[in-house]
Amino acid sequence: MSSPESAGARERPWHELVHHALKSSRVKLVTHVPDRVLAPLIASLSADDFFTVVSPAREEEAVGICTGAWMGGTLGAVLMQTSGMGTLANALASLVVPYQIPLLMIVSERGTLGEYNLGQVMVCRTMRPILDSLGIEHHTLARADEVGFVFERAIQQAVSTQSPVAFILSPLLTGGKVFRH
């Protein structure tokens, strides 16, 4: 278990910290619909034999796959962009929450802190209200030194309480996507 002050956390890139936390939490299945910011994380998870990586066409599919895998004994995570979360209200409300699935959602936050696309800004505004309206716990990660602790503790809690959880990766953590003139 990492502590907030784990040595070296500040020097390691965020995606290495997330990779490590998923592995130490025995999250063996990773599903994703890509996002520019998530690219290095997707690449490193895909290169690690520990993980089974599936890349479906839609985020809803990823939710279904992780739900089935969980019931079959394998914990899985969905990696997506904010806009992907915007497509998930029905799957979360009619599958994940009522069936008590510890679904792990890792969301690269677009639409804030320098966003240049109004559509991304608007969908970002729906994200936390959707999660809050369903009572789904979410953590916004802004600091590298908190990644290990938040991921490991929240994953443990999700499994123990059979509840989904969302990790929102702020541009403060990842650098985000910047518009270059």
Partner 1 sequence: MPTHDPAVTRGAALVMNRFDLTRRLVSKLHREEAVVAGIGNTNFDLWAAGRRPQNFYMLGSMGLACPIALGVAIAQPGRRVFGVEGDGSILMQLGCLGTIAAAAPKNLAIVIMDNGVYQITGGQETLTARSTDLVAMARGAGIAKAAWAADEADFERRIERALAEDGPWLIGARIDAGPPAAQTERDPAQIRERFMRGLGVRG
Residues that bind partner 1 (CB under 8 A): 29, 52, 54-58, 60-74, 76, 90-91, 93-95, 98-101
Give yes or no for a contact between 19 and 51, defined as CB atoms under 8 angstroms apart. no
Distance CA 181, CA 29 (A): 38
Give yes or no for a contact between 78 and 103, defined as CB atoms under 8 angstroms apart. yes
Task: Pick the closer one to partner 1 by CB: 3 or 94.
Answer: 94
Distances (CA, A) of 67 to 18, 27, 95: 21, 13, 8
Task: Pick the closer one to partner 1 by CB: 61 or 145.
Answer: 61
The position carrying tokens 């999660």 is: 131
Residues in the chain, total? 181
Supply the minimum distance, in Å, between the C-beta of residue 126 and partner 1.
19
Supply the minimum distance, in Å, between the C-beta of residue 91 and partner 1.
5
For the record, the structure tokens of 62 come out as 């990823």
Supply the minimum distance, in Å, between the C-beta of residue 88 and partner 1.
10
Sign of CA dihedral 74, 1, 139, 157: positive
Supply the minimum distance, in Å, between the C-beta of residue 78 and partner 1.
11
Task: Pick the closer one to partner 1 by CB: 90 or 117.
Answer: 90
Task: Pick the closer one to partner 1 by CB: 17 or 79.
Answer: 79
Supply the minimum distance, in Å, between the C-beta of residue 21 and partner 1.
21
Q: What is the largest CA-CA distance in the chain?
A: 48
Task: Pick the closer one to partner 1 by CB: 29 or 124.
Answer: 29
